[in-house]
Every structure is written in C-alpha cells, then in structure tokens.
Amino acid sequence: MSRFRTYIPAYLFLLPSCLLFFCFMFLPIFKGVQLSFQKWTVAGYEWVGLANYQKIFADASFWKSLYITGVYALATVALGLFISLLVAFLIDPLSSKVQGFFKAAFYLPSVAPIVIVSILWGWLYNPSFGLFNYILDKFHFEPVLWLGDPNIALISIMIMTLAVGQGPNILILAASLGGVPKDYQEAARIDGANLIQEIVYIKIPMLKPTLTYLVVVNTVGSFQVFAPIYLMTSGGPNGSTKTIGFLIYENAFKKFDFGVASAQAVILLILVMIIAVIQFRSMSSDLEY
Amino acid sequence: MRKFNLPTIASVLLLTIWALLLLFPFYWMFLNAFKPTTSVIQTPPDLSWVNLTIGNFKKLTLEPISWAWTFNSFLVAISGMIGNVILCSMAGYAFAKKKFPGKRLIFWFIISIMMTSTQVIMVPLFILIRDMGLLNTYFGLILPILVSPFAVFLTKQFMQTIPGELISSAKMDGCSEWRIFYSIILPISKPVLAIVAIFGFITQWNDFLWPLLATESRDMRTLQVGLASMQLQNVDYGLVLAGSVWTMIPVIVLFVSFQRFFVRGITIGAVKG
C-alpha cells in the first residue's frame, strides 16, 4: 500500500490529459464500433447486427469510393515523396542561409489553412477566369473544366495536394539528409562513384528509416482526406472525387444515417491500420534497430 | 567558400521557379484583397499596383459577424495552445521522469491515437458532444482539442534529457511534486514548450472539420468555417480574399517570427539522432 502511494503523483500528473484522451478519442472509437452495429430510429437505437456492413458491401458506390481513395493515396504519397526527395537532394548542397529561404518557401503553403489554399486553387482552376485556363488559352489550347470534368477533377485535387502538401516531407527529408555522415560521401567519391551512384547506393539507404516513417504517415493521412474534397468539389462531379472520408461525412451529416457512416469509419480505421502495419513491416524488414 | 558551379546554379534556378509557383497564389491573394471584385475575376490576372483600395477590408470589419468569427478562432486556438502546453507537458513529465505501473501501456495508447484523425471519429464524437448537450457551445468546440498526442510525445522526448539529480536534490530540499514541476522542469523545458505552443495554436487556428461539425448557428463559427461558407455561397470575391488575408495574418506572423521552431517541431519526432 505504501508503495502505491509513491505512484500517486505520477498518476495525478497524467490524470487531466488522460481523462481528455479517454473521453474524446478512445470513447468515440468504441462508441463508433457500437454505433456501426446499430440503427437509429424514432424509438431510439436498436441493434441490427451486421446489417450496416452488409448494406455497405453490397453498395457499388462504397467500392467506387474505396477505389478513388486508393488511387488518391497511392498517387499523392508516391509522387509527393518523389518530389520531396528531389527537392531535398537539390537543397542539400546549398549554404544554410539559402536552404533556410527555400525551406520557408516550401513550408508556407503547408502551414496555410486548407480553407484558404482551397480558395486560391479554386481561383487557379476556375473555368472562366482562372489562371490555368488563361494560360492554356494563351497557348491556343482548349479550356479545361478542372473541377467540373469527372475524368479530371480527382487529378486536379491531387495536383493541389502535391503542390501544397509537401512542406513537412521536405523539411524532414532535408534534416535526415543533413545527418548523413560526410565521410561516407568522401569515401564514395574516392572510390570513383558518380553523383547518381552516390544518391542511389549511399543516401537513399541512409534515408530508409525516414522514408518508411513518411510513407506510413502520408498514407494514413491521405486515406482519411476530407477537407480539400469538401471545399473544392463536394465529392462531385458525378461522385468522381467522393473519397471515403467524404462519404462518411455525407452519410452522417447529409443523410443522417449514423449507423452506416460509423460502419464505414470502422472499415476505414481497420484498413488504415492494416496498410500501416504492412508498409512498416515490408519497408523496415532489413533495418537494424 | 563554395564554388558556384553549373549544377548548383541549375538546382537553385529550378528550386526558385518551384518556390515562386507555390507562392504566387498567395501574392495574388494579398494584392487582390486590396482591389475591387472586378479585378479579382479578370483575365489576365490583375497584378498591377494601381487603384488599390481598402474597400474590402472596410466591408469585412464593419460586419459584426467577422469579429464574432475572429473571437471564436482566437478562443479555440488559444485554448488549444494553453491546454497542450499545460496538460500535455504534465503528462510528458510523468512519462519522462516517473516510474509507475502501466507506464508503457498508457504511453503506447496515447501514441497510437496519432494514427486516427477527426475524420475517423467524427460521427461518434459528434454524437457524444450532442448527447452531452454541448453542440454549438464553446465547451463543445474546445474540450476535444485541449490535448494532443503529438504534444505529449514532444515534451516527453525533451524532458528525458533533464538530469535526474536536479529532481532528487530538489526533493531533498523538501520541494513538493508540483513545485518541482513548476519551478524546475517547466523553465528548463521552455524550448520544447514554445514548439508545443506554436503548433497547438496554428493547428487549432487552421482546423476546419471539428468547428464545422460542432457549430450550428452562424455566430458560433470560426473564421475557417465562415470563410468556407462564404466561398461555397460564391459571395463577393474581393470580400472572400480580404477575409483570407485577415485569417492568414496570425499564421504569417507566427511563421515569420518562429521559423526555426517550425523546422525543429516538424523534424524532432521523425528524424532520429
């Protein structure tokens, strides 16, 4: 008993934050699972077993959303990290003052609120007075319905994500690259390695732990994408940008079908966890910690 | 002293073009916020420094609702900041410097929350807040954002580096637990608390989804939700841009003043060493 008394201060320090974590993060996850087996009727909640899940899996629009989300995640994560790596490699040899300027320039769009970024890109993409169509017109191309054409809208949102969402990736990769010991480079150069070999055989392997982390974090984030979709296209045109995150929102707050929305959220959570574990395992298999 | 060789010049050129492309829309926003709406929707884009006007800002600041939204945004961001700094640093301290049963388990639970976002828990969280009768209230807006796993993680990492002798000698001198935390740990942890404070403020200032769900009446909205509703209703473009500049000001000020904290905060958790 007296031993327990020595732990009391530690628990008291933890209590306020853990209480909040529990109430507003854990409890909702459990409640979400519970809601996914229920249906809300006038009489209150009633248990419906797996009915919500059956409904979802039988629904073509859910599979379409899953496909759209997968495409969005794959493209934005792969291309985004490619762009970020390229920028990090280009920044690396520059002096720290110049580096600082570029880091700020690339990070600013990421720290700007998504609402404002969407407003600005809404202008760039505007079919009648947007900058992109003006430039196309200058070069005598046909105007493009960036956000209005079902075949292009998702690509437009991806382009926006790739342009403005890379700040953290660039900062993290640049910091990792700065941490690669210089004698490795020296040794490679003495052995007659060229720049490409140096990058492929020395720097990329050294960056592997960081890249693994970034692939997982970026994938988890992009699977849950919501705000850009809501703000730019509201899932349209023709459902072509309806990601799972938006589908959940629509089912819950437009159709008030909380049961189905919760079941979709549970599916999304499980999916994200599985993907994260697979990526982590497959990429860090040859790491030594 | 570096030699300026061809690859360096080429890469600086490439990076400069990319940076200018990214920053151009923001430049256009700042300029056209001071122009009549006719300039905003003209092609080619109006980039001249003539007939500037503060008309849009006049309109914005004469609307009482703008001030309500601004107040709400500040309230949410400052609450998030204070909550993160105080509550999460207390937790970080316990994880860094205390031994107690269940430590690892509780810590991993908190870290695992990092995987989930509001998108995944929005339905049950909304229902929870609704059932508590807190929808469309300040409590409903603020309670879920007072703590963040990221802040706990950052403060723990930093506080682990504080020598244990400091704490044990203070104990010898008869300092109470709270006093040790308040007068020894917190002052030493200023660098990390600054990062937590800045990130806490900006994250909540920029947040869109939770304020969207937690507010119903127009006067309870934050600037982000208000701006989004203005944009979706396609009202006066000049006014939307003025509102955007208005909303960007705190972000820009913090970003320019505390740039190195941003870099440290972003890289601390991800880069080993």
Low-confidence ranges of chain A (pLDDT < 70): 1-2, 284-289
**How far does the CA of residue B270 sit from the closest CA of chain A (Å)?**
7
A276/B227 Cβ within 8 A: no
User: Chain B residues with CB inside 8 Å of A102's CB?
Assistant: 15, 19
A108/B23 Cβ within 8 A: yes
Residue pair A279/A215 in contact (Cβ under 8 Å)? The answer is: yes
A10/B143 Cβ within 8 A: no
First to last CA, chain A: 39
Nearest Cα residue to B90 out of B204, B163, B196: B196
**How far does the CA of residue B208 sit from the closest CA of chain A (Å)?**
7
Mean pLDDT by 10 residues, chain B (273 residues): 71 93 95 90 85 91 94 97 96 93 91 82 94 95 94 92 90 89 93 94 96 94 95 84 96 90 78 48
Assess B253–A contact: CB distance below 8 Å, yes or no. no
User: Chain A residues with CB inside 8 Å of B251's CB?
Assistant: 111-113
**How far does the CA of residue B34 sit from the closest CA of chain A (Å)?**
15
Q: Is the peptide bond preceding residue B44 cis, with omega within 30 degrees of 0?
A: yes
Classified as helix, coil or strand, A47 is strand
A116/B29 Cβ within 8 A: yes
A14/B90 Cβ within 8 A: yes
A27 CB neighbour count, 10 Å cutoff: 15
Assess B104–A contact: CB distance below 8 Å, yes or no. no
Kindly report the CA angle at B253 between B251 and B259, in degrees rounded to 5?
90
Assess B38–A contact: CB distance below 8 Å, yes or no. no
Confidence (pTM)? 0.92
Assess B101–A contact: CB distance below 8 Å, yes or no. yes
Assess B93–A contact: CB distance below 8 Å, yes or no. yes
Looking at residue A289, its pLDDT comes to: 42
> What are the residues whose beta carbons fall under 8 Å from the beta carbon of B176, sequence distance 6 or more?
none
User: Chain A residues with CB inside 8 Å of B242's CB?
Assistant: none
- Most B-contacting residue of A20, A115, A223 (CB-CB within 10 A), to test interface: A115
Minimum Cα–Cα distance from B117: chain A residue: A224
**How far does the CA of residue A70 sit from the closest CA of chain B (Å)?**
16
What is the spatial distance between Cα A218 and Cα A82, in angstroms, rounded to a whole number?
13
Number of A–B residue contacts, CB under 8 Å:
249
What is the spatial distance between Cα B233 and Cα A267, in angstroms, rounded to a whole number?
33
A115/B247 Cβ within 8 A: yes
B101/A94 Cβ within 8 A: no
Render chain A in DSSP notation, one character per residue: -HHHHHHHHHHHHHHHHHHHHIIIIIHHHHHHHHHHTEEEETTEEEE-TTHHHHHHHT-HHHHHHHHHHHHHHHHHHHHHHHHHHHHHHHHTTS-HHHHHHHHHHHHHHHHS-HHHHHHHHHHHH-TTT-HHHHHHHHTTPPP--TTT-TTTHHHHHHHHHHHHS-HHHHHHHHHHHHTS-HHHHHHHHHTT--HHHIIIIIIHHHHHHHHHHHHHHHHHHHHT--HHHHHHTTT-STTTT--HHHHHHHHHHTS--HHHHHHHHHHHHHHHHHHHHHHHHHHSTT---
Looking at residue B4, its pLDDT comes to: 64
User: Chain A residues with CB inside 8 Å of B43's CB?
Assistant: 129, 131, 134, 137
Nearest to B22 among A105, A123, A262 (CB): A105
Q: Which two tokens stand for residue B42?
A: 């003209």
Minimum Cα–Cα distance from A258: chain B residue: B123
Looking at residue B84, its pLDDT comes to: 96
What is the spatial distance between Cα B257 and Cα B98, in angstroms, rounded to a whole number?
35
Minimum Cα–Cα distance from B249: chain A residue: A112
**How far does the CA of residue B225 sit from the closest CA of chain A (Å)?**
8
